[in-house]
Amino acid sequence: MKLVEAKEGIVVSVFVKPKQTKFSIAIDGDDILIFSTEEPVKGRVNKEILKALSKLFKSEVEIMSGSTSRQKQILIKNVEKNEVERLLRNLT
C-alpha cells in the first residue's frame, strides 16, 4: 500500500477502473484499486471517489494529482496512517 504521511493527512496512491458494474475498493499487492461505476466524463468518476472515500474515512478528501488520469494521488485529511491502513484492509 502506498501511503505517505503529509502535513495535512495521508496521501494515498490509487488506480481507478471506471465503468464497472459495482463500486468497490480492493488491494492487489501494493496497489489500491478503485472500481468506479461512473464513466470518465465531466469529473463523474472523481466525484464518486471523493464521496465514497470521505464517507469511508469520515474525513475531508481531495485529489492532489491525476484528476484526468486513472492513477491518482488522494489526500485524506486529519487521519492517522494506521487508521487508513486498518480501514482499507477491512474492505477485503
Grid coordinates 485529489 are at which residue? 63
Three-state SS string over the chain comes to CCEEECCCEEEEEEEEECCCCCCEEEEECCEEEEECCCCCCCCHHHHHHHHHHHHHHCCCEEEEECCCCCEEEEEEECCCHHHHHHHHHHHC
Q: pTM of the predicted model, to two decimals?
A: 0.91
pLDDT digits (tens, 9 = 90+) for 5-47: 999 999 999 999 999 999 999 999 889 999 999 999 999 999 9
Taking only the tens place, the pLDDT of each residue in 47-87 is 999 999 999 999 999 999 999 999 999 999 999 999 999 99
Q: CA nearest 18: which of 73, 54, 72, 87? A: 72
